[in-house]
Homo-oligomer: A and B are copies of this chain.
Amino acid sequence: MTREGTGPILVSPMAEGIRFQVTGRSSETGARTGVLHTPHGDVRTPVFMPVGTQATVKAITQEELRELDFPIILGNTYHLYLRPGHELIERAGGLHKFMSWDRALLTDSGGFQVFSLRDLRHVGDDGVIFKSYIDGSEHEFTPERVMEIEGAFGADIAMAFDECPPYPSSHEHVREATQRTHDWAARCGESVRGGQALFGIVQGGVYRDLREWSADRIVSLDFSGIAIGGVSVGEPKQMMREVVEWTAPLLPDEKPRYLMGVGTPVDIIDFVMLGMDMFDCVLPTRLGRNGSMYTTYGRINIKNARYTEDFTPLDPECDCRSCRNYTRAYIRHLYKSDEILASRLATYHNLHFYQRVMKGIRAAITQDGLIAFRREFMTKYSAGDDA
């Protein structure tokens, strides 16, 4: 896979619990393939991680996630801490056991959720006080507390507690948040549970100097992997692209690079080209529940009247269970009738579509044809006239 002239296979010496190998590189772009070895199996990168906010990827069983061949999924610390609580999950034997998932898990730190809340009560250098959206009770997240909570969940990969400022925010505000993110990152590194891999998060908003500063600081802290956070928070897409263009080259080649909360299939192809390895996003599941499906020929909204008597599959080039067994007309009827099966079939299909894109990306990098892959993908994907 690694071809002559594209450099040796690198192995991170610093990983705790996990180990990352770069296995191939694109000569045309910054893309690479790799394997992330975890205590719960190997993850081939670039990888898309479905979001299991409340210990479930909405509408999908864990058996189906295995069937769809996802090697790693996400849990949200903020939600799981509030309900059912990290103590309960620890008594269940950890998040893997609680939700019956035997492959790799990553938990975020709750930073994104806490800072998107309206019920944020106090932000200080020590941590954040916030109110529960469930019962209004008051809670505090500090770096140490978050490491304790993520330790109780026991995911293969924990994320450091960070401050994620909204967009737009002033340079001053983002500078302060980024400073706190660095301090908290160091404190997370000191308090992470043994055996658990910890990823640091680069912040810095849309300011190049802050991104460069943050990358420098986070990289210096010897994390098992590095994430770019604070993107996809409402900024224009071109700005997000610039942030990744500034930041990705500053990240160590031998560590996995995770772009948080991104994105559409096209986004993912583009950011893989900039050297990113890991992605997560609620789009395939959320859009599925809302009746929007990814197809080879672009996104379709199944609620559109044109599908009323369309007795073809969601995607003519897809062989997933939903497409093998059911028609657009049937799935449209399920949506119009508010049936649970609508969400199930659409979510399953959308996740399968993402997997198909990721497999295509990995194969294209291996064959060193990523640019051609993108061109072919876009030719078909832009041909649809519905989205």
Contact = CB atoms under 8 A, between A and B. Distances in A.
A329 B326 CA distance: 33
B308 A56 contact: no
A330 interface: yes
A59 interface: yes
Given A60-B341, A336-B83, A344-B61, A99 B330 contact: yes
B100 A334 contact: no
Contact of A337 (B54, B93, B333, B337): B54
A84 B329 contact: yes
B340 A83 contact: no
Contacts of A62: 325
Contacts of A339: 54, 56, 58
B326 A63 contact: no
A272 B294 CA distance: 49
Interface of A: 54-56, 58-63, 79, 83-84, 88, 91-93, 98-100, 308-309, 311, 321, 325-327, 329-330, 333-334, 336-337, 339-341, 343-345
Given A55-B330, A55-B334, 20 more contacts: A54-B339, A56-B339, A58-B339, A58-B340, A58-B341, A59-B341, A61-B341, A61-B344, A61-B345, A83-B333, A84-B336, A88-B308, A92-B327, A92-B329, A93-B311, A98-B329, A100-B327, A340-B340, A340-B343, A344-B344
